[in-house]
Amino acid sequence: MNVCFIMYPWEQIDAENDTSLALIKECVKRGHGVAMCTPANLTIRNSVTSAFCTVVGRMDKVPSTLKAFYKKAQLREEMLPLAGFDAIFFRANPPLDPIMLNFLDSVKDDVFIINSIEGMREANNKLYTAAFGDAHSNIIPATHVSKNKRYLIEQIRDSKADKMILKPLNGFGGSGVILIEKSAMSNINSLLDFYISNSDGTSNYVILQDYIEGAEQGDIRILLLNGEPVGAMKRVPGSDDHRSNVSAGGSVQKHSLTKAEKALCKQIGPKLVNDGLYFVGIDVIGGKLVEVNVMSPGGITYINKVYKPKVKIEEKVIDFLESKVLDKLQAFDRRARLRKTVEEA
């Protein structure tokens, strides 16, 4: 199997904790061919969609640790046709580049893509949670998305809670997430100006969300594979930050899914699979869904560490990838045989 990872540059990888690196290492360990490219490195020539790839050399013996693997990996640059790969694993950071998806449209029938192009278009931002139809806020906290400052201020004033969460629509890794309080209304006007207005006259959408009691104690990151939870961890904020993202200074702890969290996964899992969103990370607080991360969900290495040595989530993910590629190849072979039968009749 040959896999192309569309992701961030190799130089930006965290050699000890990167989920993409863990998946790449597992592929190399199994003898699969691996190449990487960034969205900016896609090109079309003579009606063939290709990529300027960084190819990972095959290894006779793969190091046991991520850091050693990252250091030992032999890389070379080569332009390769995307349709020649068996699978494309999308791992680029937000925001999603819609032009890049147009490139991938040309190969989506030839290559298994995780996550699917259609699913990525629908779910690439924090608006996707609205697709689960939760009018009574049973699994999703009350959420407002707008770039209308007057409307947002009204929602803050009308809220029964003293605190709310404000964040940019296209942020990731906890960037730009702030806690606002009614007692500081004099600052909110300028904050909204900062988040909404750009120097070129354009504006950005922001998300205003009810604060969930207990959020100060952290959130739960759950990784779902083919609609089923395969790992979870509790992320605890640092002493000087309300955000629990590890990239923002949070720490991780073991976590066993509660009855409410299992029910939540069961409720949203079928839609995720139906939308082709096979590998997803969801953030949950108090049994409520806060975010669905579909572009480059992380957490594999941290979950593996807190459950070491029992859990190796990357093995389950690549097992699934292999099975989907095999299904696609078998379907292609079957169709070729049936066509031959018709042609020879």
CATH number at residue 200: 3.30.1490.20
**Residue 168 shares a structural domain with residue 224:** no
Does pLDDT of 199 surpass 60?
yes
Residue 220 within any structural domain of the chain: yes
Q: Which two tokens stand for residue 212?
A: 């969930």
**Residue 161 shares a structural domain with residue 265:** no
Range of lowest pLDDT (151-165, 229-243, 287-301, 312-326): 229-243
Q: Which two tokens stand for residue 4?
A: 């192309």
Does pLDDT of 216 surpass 90?
no
| Residue 321 · residue 86 · CB < 8 Å | no
Q: What pLDDT score was predicted for residue 18?
A: 97
The total number of structural domains in the chain stands at: 3
At 183, the pLDDT band (50, 70, 90 cuts) reads confident
Does pLDDT of 311 surpass 90?
no
At 302, the pLDDT band (50, 70, 90 cuts) reads very high
**Residue 270 shares a structural domain with residue 232:** yes
Q: What pLDDT score was predicted for residue 226?
A: 98
At 280, the pLDDT band (50, 70, 90 cuts) reads very high
E-assigned strand segments in 96-250: 112-114, 143-146, 163-168, 178-181, 206-210, 219-225, 228-236
Q: What pLDDT score was predicted for residue 137?
A: 54
At 246, the pLDDT band (50, 70, 90 cuts) reads low
- The three-class DSSP label of residue 340 is helix
What CATH number has the domain bearing residue 299?
Answer: 3.30.470.20
**Residue 188 shares a structural domain with residue 238:** no
**Residue 304 shares a structural domain with residue 234:** yes
Q: What pLDDT score was predicted for residue 217?
A: 87
Q: Which residues of 98-134 are buried (b: 16+ CB within 10 A; e: fewer)?
A: eebbebbeebbebbbbbbbbebbebbbbbebbeebeb
Last residue of a domain, one of 155, 177, 210: 210
Residue 337 within any structural domain of the chain: no
Residue 59 within any structural domain of the chain: yes
**Residue 30 shares a structural domain with residue 58:** yes
What is the span of the domain harbouring residue 290?
A: 215-311
Residue 290 within any structural domain of the chain: yes
**Residue 106 shares a structural domain with residue 12:** yes
Q: What pLDDT score was predicted for residue 138?
A: 76
Taking the model in full, what pTM does it have? Answer: 0.86
Residue 124 within any structural domain of the chain: no
